[in-house]
Amino acid sequence: MEEMLRMYGSLAPKRYKYSELKQMTSPFKDKLGEGGYGTVFRGSLQDGCAVAVNLLKVSNGKEEFLNEAISICRTSHINIVGLLGFCLEGANRARVYEYMANGSLEKYIHTENSDLVIGWDKLQQIAHGIARGLEYLHQGCSTRIIHFAIKPHNILLDQDFCPKIADLGLAKLCHLKAGSILSVAEARGTIGFIAPEVFSRDFGVVSTKSDVYSYGMMLLEMVGGRINKGKGVTNSSSDVYFPNQIYDSITEQVQSCEVTCDLEEAMRKMALVGLWCIQTNPENRPSMSKVIDMFEKSINELEMPPKPFLSCPSIPSY
C-alpha cells in the first residue's frame, strides 16, 4: 500500500489515521446523513476547513479500497465532490470529502419551507451542472465511469448552490461486457431511477446511457416535485410515474400555442430533456454531451420526444 501511494506521489489522496478522524469530527458528533454504505459526519481540518467524513460499512480489500480512493482523487471537476483523503486502518474504512454547505438537492424538491424553494432558472442551472459532471465521468476521465445512482439524494450543493455529484466511491468502471446485466445489489440505485436494461438485457446493454436514464428521471423528479408541491401532492416520481403526465401537459400546451403561459421555459426545457433521456431503448437516449447542447438551445429548437411507455422498472423475479 505504501508503495502504491509513493508511486502516485502528489496525485495520491492524503492518508489519515482513525484517531485523526475522531479528532476532526469531535468525535463523530455532527451526523450529516446515513445510508446503506455508511455514515457521514461533519468535521474540520486543522486549518478550519469544513469537511465531510464518510465512515464506510463496506469492507472490501485494502488494495481495492485504495485503488478506488486514488481513482476518485484523480477525478477533478467542478461538478464532482472532491476527495481530500482517506483512512485505511484495520477494519476502518473512511473517505474525507469537501463539505457541501447546502446539503442534497433532494430536500429542495419537495420542501414545504418557502425559504428552501429554488426558482426554475436556478434549478435549470443545477441540472446543467449535473449534466457537465456526468459528461466528465463518461468522457473526460481516463477510464469511463458509470455512476449507477444518479438521483437527487446524491447531488450535493455547495454554498453557492453549485451542484456536485456525490457517492462516486461506489460507481462502476466501464468494464462491463456486451449483453451483461447487473444484479439488484450491484445496481445500488433507487428503483424508480434505474434504467430498464440494468435489470434485463431485453432492453439493451448496460452503458453510460443507463446513467442518462437516471438523470432523466431526476429531471422529471425536479419538475414533478415542484408541480405537485403547488397541488399539495407529496409523492415522488419514483412512486408515481410522472413522465406520462408531464408529456401530456407539454403536448397540450404546444398544440394550443400556450408556450409562455402556465409553464416557464426553464421548466419545459427540463421536462423535454428528461423525457428524451428516459427513452426505453438506450440508443434513443442522448449522450450527456447532447444533453448539454439541448440545454443551450431555445425551447423552440427542441423536438418533442416519443411518449414513454414504461412505468417504473420493476424488479424481475429470479
User: Can you tell me the distance from the alpha carbon of 280 to that of 209, in angstroms, rounded to the nearest whole number?
Assistant: 11
Domain extents for the chain?
2-98, 106-301
The per-residue pLDDT for range 236-255, each reduced to its tens digit, is: 444 445 577 777 776 666 55
Judge whether 94 and 39 are in contact, CB under 8 Å: no
Average pLDDT over residues 75-92: 91
Residue 138 binned pLDDT confidence (cut-offs 50, 70, 90): very high
In order, the DSSP letters of 218-230 are HHHHHHHHHHHHH
Examine the pLDDT at 234 and tell me if it is beyond 50: no
Is the model more confident about 290 or about 242? 290
Stretch 219-229: mean pLDDT, rounded?
76
Residue 207 DSSP label: S
Lowest-confidence segment of 21-30, 112-121, 276-285 by average pLDDT: 112-121
- Give the CATH number of domain 2-98: 3.30.200.20
CA distance 13 to 66: 9
CA 288/CA 277 separation, integer angstroms: 9
**d(Cα 207, Cα 247) in Å, to the nearest integer?**
26
The reported pTM is 0.84
Residue range 90-129, pLDDT digits in tens: 889 999 999 999 999 998 987 777 777 888 889 999 999 9
Closest CA to 126 of 145, 147, 95, 152: 152
Tell me the mean pLDDT in the region 279-284: 93
- Residue 103: count of CB within 10 angstroms of its CB: 14
pLDDT above 70 for 207: yes
Distances (CA, A) of 235 to 110, 227, 228, 318: 9, 11, 8, 29
Residue 274's pLDDT band, with cuts at 50, 70 and 90, is very high
What is the fold, at CATH topology level, of the domain defined by 106-301?
Transferase(Phosphotransferase); domain 1 (1.10.510)
Most confident by average pLDDT, 69-73, 176-180, 189-193, 205-209: 205-209
